[in-house]
Amino acid sequence: MPIYNAPAKDMQFILHDMLKATETGIPGYDELERDFTGAILDEAGKLATDVLAPLNASGDVEGCRLENGVVYTPKGFKEAFAAVKEGGWNGLDLPEEFGGQNLPYVMGCAVGEVFCSANMALNMYQGLTHGAINALVTHGTDEQKATYLPKMVSMEWTGTMNLTEPHCGTDLGMIRTKADPQGDGSYLITGQKIFISAGDHDMAENIIHLVLAKAPGGGEGTKGISLFVVPKFLIKDDGTPGERNGVSVGSIEEKMGIHGNSTCVLNYDGARGWLVGEEHKGMRAMFVMMNEARLGVGLQGYAQAEAAYQNAVAYAKDRLQGRAVTGAENKDGPADPLIVHPDIRRSLMDQKSFIEGARAFTFWGAHLIDRAHRMGDRDADGLISLLTPVIKGFQTDMGFDMAVQAQQVYGGHGYIEEWGMSQFVRDARIAMIYEGANGVQALDLVGRKLAVDGGKPAMAFFEMVKTFIKENDGREALKADFLEPLKAASKDLQTAMMYFMQNGMKNPNAALAGSNDFMHLFGHVCLGLMWARMGLAAQEALDAGTGDAAFYETKLATGRYYMARHLPATGMHLARIQSGAETVMALPAEAF
Amino acid sequence: MPIYNAPAKDMQFILHDMLKATETGIPGYDELERDFTGAILDEAGKLATDVLAPLNASGDVEGCRLENGVVYTPKGFKEAFAAVKEGGWNGLDLPEEFGGQNLPYVMGCAVGEVFCSANMALNMYQGLTHGAINALVTHGTDEQKATYLPKMVSMEWTGTMNLTEPHCGTDLGMIRTKADPQGDGSYLITGQKIFISAGDHDMAENIIHLVLAKAPGGGEGTKGISLFVVPKFLIKDDGTPGERNGVSVGSIEEKMGIHGNSTCVLNYDGARGWLVGEEHKGMRAMFVMMNEARLGVGLQGYAQAEAAYQNAVAYAKDRLQGRAVTGAENKDGPADPLIVHPDIRRSLMDQKSFIEGARAFTFWGAHLIDRAHRMGDRDADGLISLLTPVIKGFQTDMGFDMAVQAQQVYGGHGYIEEWGMSQFVRDARIAMIYEGANGVQALDLVGRKLAVDGGKPAMAFFEMVKTFIKENDGREALKADFLEPLKAASKDLQTAMMYFMQNGMKNPNAALAGSNDFMHLFGHVCLGLMWARMGLAAQEALDAGTGDAAFYETKLATGRYYMARHLPATGMHLARIQSGAETVMALPAEAF
């Protein structure tokens, strides 16, 4: 069975050595002392290793089943879900007034990564609930908040997001689900929603669906969309679940992965719902939550890679096959462990250096969200809006690739379900698709975010890179291995942006044909920046002679690998971008 | 249900416009007139579309099952297998003396691609048989040939290859299966073999296992290995199957994909076997067949991408979502088809340009094998030995990536098994692993093949590229779009090789740390050469005013895409290679 241990030491390094959490001045960050965050991560890690991870493979094999309209989750999920609930984990970063602990979002991310690595399918029930809570916190009425939030924060009730319909996912302007106003403040919701993660299950006494639907008079397209809260069981006056609402499970989708999560077709047949936020402004309500939701999916990308990587390392150390080209290392054994072979090393270093970089990027992004929410820092808000599609798109593409690499370390055994590596790959695959497919992320980045506020956030990013390089210019230990590659990569990114500016106005396709490459180019520069910052933090710790020197040396070596081996991708992406739209759009549709 | 139509027109273009088959002077190629090959491909295509492809998804869902020691294949497989058998397809490129038609191997590849795209799991039963036949043709005694080959060529009996054991796959020197000589020319084989594709099934009256085992006195490691033929049913004097031999199915592996193929654990308990080739020289016997077997797997890589691509195109034309950024194209509809969006185009062009390039590379490789076998051309033999790990490793890595991209075009529907895209991805994944995992291919390429014969084959390859560029230097239509990018990419490859030569002697890790990148760099240069040759062929046809001008224009546009968008990867791979082994090997094993 696959192993999993929370990478608490690495998380502590990012929180304290790189982000220097307690020194940021962000309200709530003063609490994040090293011992305190360490204790949280240790507890989360124990739960993950002892309770969540052991159910990952069995949940994949068993999947969810629908019997007489009732969804049953795999064996053990109910008890594991209860353990997460009883630990109060869901409220960690949620408002105290609804029963949460109000810790910074960055801590929610750290714990979220641990739970997701251990059991993504199970963790999604909680993740969706979190998303629905955020929608209600931001847009719900006081009554709605009082009715739903305490129960959802405690995980007695869970939540879902209902956007997609059979004929539309990305293009939500086409949705057909109707909301018929009843004159008493309620609406009757009718229509079919598909791909509803955690859509129904047997682990909570109620499920609170947030549903996009069209109320009369809203006009065409996305302008006509409103957001509704539709509980599975209507709430009685005493606040407990009562009569069943008119929403039912049509079927559970058979998917490539995340089998432990019930992805449902939900049929709304005049289900009673209530408006969340303003009528006809449902898309706006959705967009507010998008940064967090998308960052959460970007996190899933590397979290699955992390789980796969840990197992690949264990296998590479254990499996004896062949001899080191430089001479036998395990002389008394029949062969050397796989890890002696340069190409296995190359693969493990690819994985390790990506994962640690992505973790830093995600935590830094979460810290920007905290900065924006807790301090009203508009620059941080602008920056995280710009970076969100990069975190989501780049990290899920790369996370999947790295999970595939981890699977490859196992050779034939990687293809056999029993070893668990296939599941990491199959589960990781969904993160590239949901919460806006990665092509949509690239479009959002190039078609919208780059130009927001006259390009101010993008300029701020470049300024940040420039300043970092300048400030550390005198550090010879970082110069050749970190600062120069970062500078070159950042220049590639600026050149690409310039190309879009010069060509995109005349021909929007010239920019959009390069959108996917730009997202990846941007992602590499971000991870390059993270590695430079981590390199600095590790070097400072070594200079100060504090902590575990071997850990910091490993950090520096891993960073050097990223800069030398991952970062050269920026040149390729730039060349692809600069080749423009001509070859991309040359063929008429019928030539395909 | 997924669609599939044989790309006969593209195959004809490669055979006749690019390879100019009938003009090659290779014995047997004179038969390959355009009409003749067209008729073969049409017939193969019909069988694929009507019989094989419709069973692909159902075979995936149903899988194989083991009941009371008997393996049952999915519903319909038996009948489809019989249809392939009755069509005489297996003998297409096999010797006439055993019932084959003795057509060139390149035609076997073309038909093999079609069958593999339509139903990889089913096609593997035939593919393994083909491999076993080749082993017996090359190394079997006259008696063995007479006993087994006619039945195997006709597919009354099928074959398997038994190499892997639980503790070793790549490192075959460690195998434990024993062969105990009985003094009558036979041996008793005892041991366990795993991952045996097509290991048992209900579609043929006998199964002929080729088994690697150790006979006494052979010494340590691979030197002690011999190859044995071990029929499932012992052959009676009249040539028909008789008593059951001592080999049984331990279990069927639960795999990520190719569920329709029975991947078996086979237990040999004193099964009677006979030596194939010389005692203790089994590895040599295996290696002889390796070029063909590995080329066949490289073919599977792009064949799955082809099937996935065809469906992605159909979906991109059909699915209405969003509007073209340059203005609505489907004004009367609620939205434009996906194919108007630049990033969808980018993805489809990535797929199309890779697949067509890989097809050309594979057919060209097959033609080199024909040249080597039919003309005794040692240069061709040297070249295909060099290129085989590239065809296998590069094409299966890329084929998988392209299948993932095709799946991505479907958005959420791509993740739902019902749509069939997940299967293409899951099936394609195995080709990166079996027949030598891709890391082993890279090692074979850099650690062995580059240096063979003093590097003569590698030099011959560069000479070929150079000559092609020189010969066509005057063609302005090709110069900027094809010849210059090919020249630059080829230079990257030469620089990489130079780096290995200068550093690999001192430090073998310096070369091996770059082996995977080198394999990909080499693959891109090969596909670049193929596209340049295809570009020339298309341009010549356009200049001559013959044939379908739109087809040739499309070919040129697709080639320009490959050169502009895929080929820039060579610079990235070179940079990774030139960064050497230092960052790759920096960490002690315990730091992972």
Q: Are residues B107 and B200 in the same domain?
A: no
Partner residues linked to A276 by β-bridges: A227
Judging contacts by C-beta atoms under 8 Å, the chain B residues touching residue A167 are 320
**pLDDT at A49 > cutoff 80:** yes
Contacts of A295 (CB under 8 A, 6+ apart): A109, A362, A365, A366, A369, A384, A388, A391, A392
From the candidates A195, A330, A565, which should be mutated to test the interface with B, based on the most B CB atoms within 10 A? A565
CA–centroid distance for A113 within its chain: 9
**pLDDT at A48 > cutoff 90:** yes
CA–centroid distance for B339 within its chain: 30
With CA atoms as reference, report the closest residue to B283 among B223, B216, B202: B223
A427, closest residue in chain B (CA to CA): B415
- 8 Å CB contact of A316 and B592: yes
**pLDDT at A505 > cutoff 90:** no
- Rounded to a whole number of angstroms, the distance from the CA of B95 to the nearest CA of chain A is 33
d(CA A85, CA A72): 18
- 8 Å CB contact of B585 and A437: no
pLDDT of residue B220: 86
**pLDDT at A50 > cutoff 80:** yes
Q: Are residues A66 and A184 in the same domain?
A: no
d(CA A344, CA B270): 37
Q: Which of B320, B407, B513 sits opposite A342 (nearest CB)?
A: B513
Number of Cβ within 10 Å of residue B420's Cβ equals 21
Catalytic residue among A329, A417, A435, A484: A435
Q: Are residues B69 and B199 in the same domain?
A: no
Is A204 part of a structural domain of the chain?
A: yes
Q: Tell me the pLDDT of chain A averaged across its residues.
A: 97
- 8 Å CB contact of B564 and A572: no
Q: Are residues B171 and B81 in the same domain?
A: no
**pLDDT at B289 > cutoff 80:** no
CB A538 within 8 A of CB A555: yes
Question: Mean pLDDT over residues A491-520, rounded?
Answer: 95
Is A78 part of a structural domain of the chain?
A: yes
pLDDT of residue A298: 98
Q: Are residues A179 and A253 in the same domain?
A: yes
Q: Are residues B241 and B113 in the same domain?
A: no
Question: Mean pLDDT over residues B410-416, rounded?
Answer: 98
Handedness of CA B326, B331, B336, B337 (dihedral sign): negative
Q: Are residues A544 and A476 in the same domain?
A: yes
pLDDT of residue A133: 96
**pLDDT at A251 > cutoff 80:** yes
Is A369 part of a structural domain of the chain?
A: no
From the candidates B170, B520, B584, which should be mutated to test the interface with A, based on the most A CB atoms within 10 A? B584
Catalytic residue status for B435: yes
- 8 Å CB contact of B586 and A516: no
**pLDDT at B284 > cutoff 90:** no
For chain A, what is the domain count? 3
Q: Which of B194, B408, B584 sits opposite A349 (nearest CB)?
A: B584
Q: What are the C-alpha distances in Å from A17 to residues A35, A41, A464, A547, B224?
A: 14, 16, 19, 11, 56
Q: What are the C-alpha distances in Å from B418 to residues A264, B221, B423?
A: 14, 47, 9
d(CA A387, CA A527): 12
Q: Which of B412, B425, B586 sits opposite A195 (nearest CB)?
A: B412
pTM for this model (two decimals): 0.98
**pLDDT at B550 > cutoff 90:** yes
- Rounded to a whole number of angstroms, the distance from the CA of A562 to the nearest CA of chain B is 9
Q: Map residue B189 onto helix, strand or coil.
A: strand
Q: Which residue has the tokens 């980045």?
A: A445
Q: Map residue B462 onto helix, strand or coil.
A: helix
- pLDDT tens profile B8-24: 999 999 999 999 999 99
With CA atoms as reference, report the closest residue to B73 among B307, B261, B291: B261
Consecutive H or E run containing B53:
none
Judging contacts by C-beta atoms under 8 Å, the chain A residues touching residue B512 are 325, 341-343
Residue-level length of chain B: 592
Rounded to 5°, angle at Cα B111 from B105 and B113: 100
Pairs across A and B, CB distance < 8 A? 256
Is A455 part of a structural domain of the chain?
A: yes
Catalytic residue among B113, B165, B292, B435: B435
- pLDDT tens profile A113-143: 999 999 999 999 999 999 999 999 999 999 9
d(CA A531, CA A360): 8
- Rounded to a whole number of angstroms, the distance from the CA of A26 to the nearest CA of chain B is 34
pLDDT of residue A252: 98
Partner residues linked to B226 by β-bridges: B213
More confident residue, A448 or B219: A448
Q: Are residues B452 and B565 in the same domain?
A: yes
We report the CATH number of the domain holding residue A224 as 2.40.110.20
pLDDT of residue A286: 81
Domain of residue A126, residue span: 8-139
Is A340 part of a structural domain of the chain?
A: no
pLDDT of residue A546: 87
**pLDDT at B127 > cutoff 90:** yes
- pLDDT tens profile A568-580: 999 999 999 999 9
**Domain end (from A89, A110, A139):** A139
Question: Mean pLDDT over residues A174-193, rounded?
Answer: 97
pLDDT of residue A504: 87
A329, closest residue in chain B (CA to CA): B589
Judging contacts by C-beta atoms under 8 Å, the chain A residues touching residue B327 are none
We report the CATH number of the domain holding residue A131 as 1.10.540.10
d(CA A485, CA A525): 9
Question: Mean pLDDT over residues B219-237, rounded?
Answer: 94
| Per-residue tokens: B490 | 């080829």
Question: Mean pLDDT over residues B499-517, rounded?
Answer: 93
Is B213 part of a structural domain of the chain?
A: yes
Q: Are residues A91 and A192 in the same domain?
A: no
Q: H-type helices in A431-581, by residue range?
A: 438-447, 456-471, 476-478, 484-504, 508-512, 515-544, 549-561, 569-578
- pLDDT tens profile B32-46: 999 999 999 999 999
CB B203 within 8 A of CB B164: no
Question: Mean pLDDT over residues B120-135, rounded?
Answer: 96
Q: Tell me the pLDDT of chain B averaged across its residues.
A: 97
d(CA A17, CA A238): 49
Question: Mean pLDDT over residues B128-156, rounded?
Answer: 97
- pLDDT tens profile B305-352: 999 999 999 999 999 999 999 999 999 999 999 999 999 999 999 999
Of chain A, the percentage scoring pLDDT greater than 70 comes to 100
Is B267 part of a structural domain of the chain?
A: yes
Judging contacts by C-beta atoms under 8 Å, the chain A residues touching residue B587 are 349, 554, 557-558
- pLDDT tens profile B351-376: 999 999 999 999 999 999 999 999 99
| Per-residue tokens: A410 | 């196992």
**Domain end (from B226, B245, B279):** B279
Q: Are residues B457 and B576 in the same domain?
A: yes
Judging contacts by C-beta atoms under 8 Å, the chain B residues touching residue A356 are none
**pLDDT at B222 > cutoff 90:** no
**Domain end (from B244, B279, B314):** B279
pLDDT of residue A292: 86
Q: Are residues A196 and A70 in the same domain?
A: no
Is A350 part of a structural domain of the chain?
A: no
**pLDDT at A288 > cutoff 90:** no
Question: Mean pLDDT over residues A420-442, rounded?
Answer: 98
- Would you place residue B520 in the very low, low, confident or very high pLDDT band (cuts 50, 70, 90)? very high
Q: Are residues A468 and A572 in the same domain?
A: yes
* Identity at B387, one-letter amino acid code: L
| Per-residue tokens: A412 | 């034939």
- Would you place residue B290 in the very low, low, confident or very high pLDDT band (cuts 50, 70, 90)? confident
Contacts of B89 (CB under 8 A, 6+ apart): B44, B47, B111, B115, B126
- 8 Å CB contact of B412 and A171: no
Question: What is the maximum alpha-carbon separation in chain B?
Answer: 83
* Identity at B530, one-letter amino acid code: M
CA–centroid distance for B413 within its chain: 28
